[in-house]
Amino acid sequence: MNIALFGPPGAGKGTQSKKILEKYNLTYISTGDMLRSEIAEGSDLGMKAKSIIEQGGLVNDELIIQLIEKKIKTNPGSKGILFDGFPRTTVQAYVMEGLMLKLNTSLNCMISLEVPEKELINRLLLRAKVSGRSDDNLEVIKNRLKEYENKTKPVADFYAKKHKYYLLNGVGEIDKIFENIISIVEQTKSVSQTNIVLLGKPGAGKGTQGNLLAKEFGLIYISTGKMMRQEIKDGTEIGRLAKPYMDKGEIVPDEIPIQLIERKINENPDAKGFTFKGFPRTLIQAYIMDGLLQRVNMSVSAMIDMKIPTLEAIKRLSARGRTEKARPYDKNAELIVNRLEQYKDKTNPVIDYYKNQEKYFSIRAEGSEKEVFENLEKKVEDILHDAY
């Protein structure tokens, strides 16, 4: 989880940061605080920044980047970052993007606190009595506000275009504002999770590739087919209900896979995301899936269609039918054709559903296991990068 707090001097970034850090275990990056401690230490960097800060200007981007790099290096494996006062220029916004890519993560949201100028000045003059900050005096405050207008405000557009910018009223009770911040953070948590739906004809290799994919990207693999076979094996009530459908190669009534998926999601509250194999398979299931994920603040990131020609599917399934991995429905041509037909009828609307949401992607699923995985991996990487 990565959050950026944005807003003019005195908006309450520092005040809200304290509260956010009490709630979430994040690394705190406040470029202002870091600069002030460099100055206090009398470091080279601090000396370069000192006079700029005293005049209310912005310290140059190079120095800021150095500071941030240093902080990240000393906090490896962090659960996320809270940025206070960064990015403050468009250049820094690009740096932020690069940084997130490097850390293989993304910014969830930029939350901007809006406060009228008069109130800002009042707050900072009041703070001046206790803060000891060299930049808390009227003349410098005015400069800081001007710098904000000219150089920092354009950063808002950068994030608005990415649909990551949230404007909040920063006037009012501190606790109330905090509540509003939390609700945005919770609402945007889902974006950082990667949930991939793998679809494709029976025999397309969803199981093989889904497992590899989950391993590669640290996701939890969810195969409703596999879970139902396990239930049957364990002789559970769910298994008993699912068995007749599974044996015939038919789609099992929705309430059965849904229960299993819900259970699996609940068992993994800290998952980075999930790979869903062969679910949703019907339009209704696609809607159910969205509802199910929404309840835990998640959403489908992408649906990947693993494409193979029908003849290839028949070949693969009948070949599997002659091995020990054979499923009951692999064993004769009629069942195989039946499944392929069901797939076409029921799954086409699912594909349209994701196309409409611009979440549909496809790969060629012919070739060796390794070749197919390379296609899949590349596709997922592209999808993740586009999400920035």
* Residue 112 CB, nearest approach to ligand AP5 (Å): 11
Query: What's the per-residue H, E or C state across 27-63?
Result: EEEEHHHHHHHHHHHCCHHHHHHHHHHHHCCCCCHHH
Interacting span for ligand AP5 (CB under 6 A) from 53-61, 234-242, 294-302, 307-315 = 53-61
* Beta carbons of 213 and 320 less than 8 angstroms apart: no
3-state DSSP helix/strand/coil % of the chain, to nearest 5 = 60, 15, 25
**Do 217 and 194 form a contact (C-beta atoms < 8 A)?**
yes
Cα(327)–Cα(308) distance, integer angstroms? 20
Do 211 and 221 meet the contact criterion of CB atoms below 8 Å apart?
Answer: yes
CA 321, chain centre distance (Å): 39
| Residue with Cβ nearer Mg ion (13 or 316) | 13
Please tell me whether residue 123 binds ligand AP5 under the rule CB under 6 A: yes
Residue (21 or 296) nearer to Mg ion, CB:
21
Tokens of 314: 């028949």
Options 49-57, 94-102, 294-302, 334-342: segment touching ligand AP5 (CB under 6 A) = 49-57
350 contacts ligand AP5 (rule: CB under 6 A): no
53 binds ligand AP5, rule: CB under 6 A? yes
Q: Work out whether 4 is an interface residue with ligand AP5 (CB under 6 A).
A: no
Strands 165-169 and 194-200: unpaired
Residue with tokens 């939890």: 220
- Answer whether the bond into residue 309 is a cis peptide, omega within 30°: no
Q: Is 160 exposed, middle or buried (0-12, 13-18, 19+ CB in 10 A)?
A: middle
Smallest gap from residue 37 Cβ to ligand AP5 (A): 11
99 binds, among ligand AP5, Mg ion, none (CB under 5 to 8 A by kind): none
Q: What is the C-alpha to C-alpha distance for residues 343 and 280, in angstroms, rounded to an integer? A: 11
Q: Which residue's CB is nearer to ligand AP5, number 6 or number 276?
A: 6
Question: Which one among 2, 4, 6, 32 touches ligand AP5, defined by CB under 6 A?
Answer: 32
Partner from ligand AP5, Mg ion, none contacting 249, C-beta within 5 to 8 A by type: none
Q: How many helices (H) and strands (E) does the chain have?
A: 17, 10
Asked if 282 interacts with ligand AP5 (CB under 6 A), we say no
User: Binding residue for ligand AP5 (CB under 6 A) from 3, 10, 206, 285?
Assistant: 10
Q: Which does 80 bind (CB under 5 to 8 A by kind): ligand AP5, Mg ion, none?
A: none
What 8-state DSSP symbol labels residue 192?
A: G
Contacted entry of ligand AP5, Mg ion, none for residue 123, CB cut-off 5 to 8 Å set by kind? ligand AP5
d(CA 94, CA 92): 5
| Distance from C-alpha of 26 to C-alpha of 24, rounded to nearest angstrom | 6
Residue nearest to ligand AP5 (CB): 32
Indicate the residue among 15 and 301 with the shorter CB distance to Mg ion.
Answer: 15
> Which single residue is written with the structure tokens 């409409």?
356
The site map against ligand AP5 for 139-178 (x = CB under 6 A) is -----x---------------------------x-x--x-
Binding mask 6-25 vs Mg ion (x if CB under 5 A, - otherwise)? -------xx-----------
Q: Number of residues in contact with Mg ion, rule: CB under 5 A?
A: 2
Binding site for ligand AP5 (CB under 6 A): 7, 9-15, 31-32, 35, 52-53, 56-59, 64, 85-86, 88, 92, 123, 127, 135, 144, 172, 174, 177
